[in-house]
Chains A and B, each alone.
Chain A
């Protein structure tokens, strides 16, 4: 079942009731232990923030809890099996996972003790109807925290309920159809077809149980209103349309918990900041559109003014410092679209931002000249732009936003800024903006484990290009694995290990699982530790540099194949290949390429120019050690800041079924899969056909 948000709930149960139930179940149970309340958290910035906020709320209420990071559906199954043995479990909270899995059914949590409630706080859409509308006790204990969308699904509810529970008009043709549907489902471990399975297996069970004769007799005996075959077909169409229209994102998990905290009247600047980070993450990773972001932003702006009354007048705060050593306030500010511009010099920041890169054509020499020309027009001399931001002249910094607004439209750069927030940390360090914090945390989630990236040391530039005099990224306090195995292993990132024979494989697998968990915890700790966040900014910058290097080389080599419906890039070599095994990196690269190519219609443009602009993008990267390809599919949108629903989940599945290649989802993002090396060609051909 779902619970509506408080502002729509009126008298029904809402977030606070669910929360109070968690508390009372915890306090009532005689076997309370640290495993009574368990949070399963997906490894992305939004879930980290939401988990942290929930942890703070629990701590204030003296509730012991446990956080378990889970990265994919497979792992969720393993964890679920382990959880089934826990007797003292009273509450399970899934953060950013579980929306599309039929939780009340038997293969998942259907067999769990009825005392266990399962809360799902997930921002991905679409949602499984079983989760929302499953009746009875099994359905009652799965609670989805909704943001208002579920109310609108009345038609789909009717459709699903009819298909599940009404006697379907049965005939040979129908059961044959359902048979073939089930055959098609095949042997993949995905989620979408589970619905078909459930539906068709229900139908099949009913038909095999009752038999045609009985049905006919029933038709004659009791004149029950039959569901006609047309209606069944229509309902199935509706549900399919909902499920297969593509993935999108609703309210972030952090916002959901912030609303809970607001009703409980326990908000403070820390919770507010984490909620802002969740929202900013959704926007900068192109999960929500600019309009949605602005709507939410207004809400948070009011909250910031409420909790930080001193700064409710608008001051551009690029140069503002903390007022006093205790100042931990959050302030509104205008954020520019340049990546991490307060920590780089201005030239680099503009060079590495995808928006500017595409408009000016940065990867060519001409483009670079245009960039310097733009900066010169704004009145920034070349030495000034090569200075680290903190050393730039004060009046230049203050005038930056204004000048950009004036001069940039000539170059076609509009909408360079968006409203955002920044947080002061007393005298510990400079104020940090939300976008920078999000970049830093996501860099840690992907790479805290020490990918072999060279990180620039501050001050080594001496006013010119950086010639690589940095040191290898090494997170202070990160636990390295003990090199206790027989073969000397690279302590942290296994992708660098060239060996791969059977003996090592098992150990590598274990440590493969472990590295991302360590990253998760490292990033979790850094949410409140400003020193680590600042250090991680360097890492984020190196990641961006790597992305730009790879992206520009792809564009230069004209490596993008434009098929009828997609654009495809396959990465098989390059200095940074190792980095792009990570799904996060790969999707970042794809996003960068989309932005970069949005206005670069290829020279061989056909008549349908507008159609070419928004072809979906597929990026595949070879993992030599494992012999697989990681494939990511991202939708392009015609305008910057617009977001389309991502249909790659179903496209990948269809292609996989058609070619019978096994695919594996490595994370909860269903648009990133892993397939074997030899299957790539066939897979891509079927996908793009």
Chain B
């Protein structure tokens, strides 16, 4: 199938968001529901006020209809992110430990459930800081790109997606150059 040029190399952020929404998240339901079968699996039963684990897409749907409250994942709070930011700044050549899909999940939660999070605007600014710090590091890391390997551990899925087109193309070119210089 022929995709348009800009889509051939990598995945779009919206697709990554959708993939990220399959992750389970904890909610406090406001309505009751029996164990129901969906395409991706069976979820429920929902018995308010006890918590339940649902995929993020379903939690978002319920939240928009005001039928649940979403509980923030344990990494999405101010102290944790501040801690990670400090780590980023302190270690200039390693990435801090954040969940693989943290940027997609945090975007969705801030859009839909900002009233369930504490200090949403501070969270937003912290996430922005984290992004900038990590972006600087990955740029730095790309300078050391060579034809055989490059180690960038700890990147998140959106960041990998961002680098992928350039990375792949440049590895190809570098391999050709290396091969031609060897012969």
What are 15 residue pairs bridging A and B, where the CB atoms are less than 8 Å apart in the complex?
Answer: A59-B65, A60-B64, A60-B65, A60-B66, A60-B67, A61-B65, A62-B65, A265-B30, A266-B66, A268-B66, A324-B121, A325-B121, A326-B114, A326-B120, A326-B121
- The CA-CA distance from A489 to B64 in the complex, in Å, is 45
Name the residue in A61, A265, A325, A326 with the highest tally of chain B Cβ atoms < 10 Å from its Cβ.
A326
Chain A, 264-280, contact with B by CB distance < 8 Å: what is the 0/1 string?
Answer: 01101000000000000
- The CA-CA distance from A60 to B66 in the complex, in Å, is 7
Chain A, 300-331, contact with B by CB distance < 8 Å: what is the 0/1 string?
Answer: 00000000000000000000000011100000
On B, residues with C-beta under 8 Å from A are: 30, 64-67, 114, 120-121
Name the residue in B30, B66, B120 with the highest tally of chain A Cβ atoms < 10 Å from its Cβ.
B66
**Which residue of the partner chain B has the closest CB to A324?**
B121
**Which residue of the partner chain B has the closest CB to A267?**
B66
**Shortest Cβ gap from B67 to chain A (Å):** 8
Residues of A within 8 A of B64 (CB): 60
- The CA-CA distance from A49 to B30 in the complex, in Å, is 26
Q: Is the interface of B mostly helix, strand, loop or mixed?
A: loop
Chain A, 169-203, contact with B by CB distance < 8 Å: what is the 0/1 string?
Answer: 00000000000000000000000000000000000
Q: Is the interface of A mostly helix, strand, loop or mixed?
A: loop
Residues of A within 8 A of B30 (CB): 265
**Which residue of the partner chain A has the closest CB to B115?**
A326
**Shortest Cβ gap from B169 to chain A (Å):** 39
Closest 8 CB pairs of A and B: A60-B65, A324-B121, A266-B66, A60-B66, A326-B114, A326-B120, A325-B121, A326-B121
Residues of B within 8 A of A61 (CB): 65
**Which residue of the partner chain B has the closest CB to A59?**
B65
**Which residue of the partner chain A has the closest CB to B65?**
A60
**Shortest Cβ gap from A262 to chain B (Å):** 13
Residues of A within 8 A of B114 (CB): 326
Chain A, 243-268, contact with B by CB distance < 8 Å: what is the 0/1 string?
Answer: 00000000000000000000001101
Residues of B within 8 A of A266 (CB): 66
- The CA-CA distance from A60 to B65 in the complex, in Å, is 4
- The CA-CA distance from A212 to B66 in the complex, in Å, is 65
**Which residue of the partner chain B has the closest CB to A325?**
B121
**Shortest Cβ gap from B91 to chain A (Å):** 32
Known pairs A60-B67, A62-B65, A324-B121. 12 more at Cβ < 8 A?
A59-B65, A60-B64, A60-B65, A60-B66, A61-B65, A265-B30, A266-B66, A268-B66, A325-B121, A326-B114, A326-B120, A326-B121
- The CA-CA distance from A326 to B121 in the complex, in Å, is 8
- The CA-CA distance from A352 to B31 in the complex, in Å, is 51
**Shortest Cβ gap from B21 to chain A (Å):** 20
**Which residue of the partner chain B has the closest CB to A426?**
B121
**Which residue of the partner chain A has the closest CB to B62?**
A60
- The CA-CA distance from A395 to B113 in the complex, in Å, is 38
- The CA-CA distance from A266 to B30 in the complex, in Å, is 10
**Shortest Cβ gap from B110 to chain A (Å):** 9
Residues of B within 8 A of A265 (CB): 30
Residues of A within 8 A of B120 (CB): 326
- The CA-CA distance from A61 to B64 in the complex, in Å, is 11
Residues of B within 8 A of A62 (CB): 65
**Shortest Cβ gap from B164 to chain A (Å):** 33
**Shortest Cβ gap from A57 to chain B (Å):** 10
**Shortest Cβ gap from B123 to chain A (Å):** 11
Name the residue in B64, B114, B121 with the highest tally of chain A Cβ atoms < 10 Å from its Cβ.
B121
- The CA-CA distance from A61 to B67 in the complex, in Å, is 10
Residues of B within 8 A of A325 (CB): 121
- The CA-CA distance from A326 to B67 in the complex, in Å, is 21
- The CA-CA distance from A673 to B108 in the complex, in Å, is 54
- The CA-CA distance from A265 to B66 in the complex, in Å, is 10
**Shortest Cβ gap from A426 to chain B (Å):** 10
**Which residue of the partner chain A has the closest CB to B64?**
A60
Residues of A within 8 A of B66 (CB): 60, 266, 268
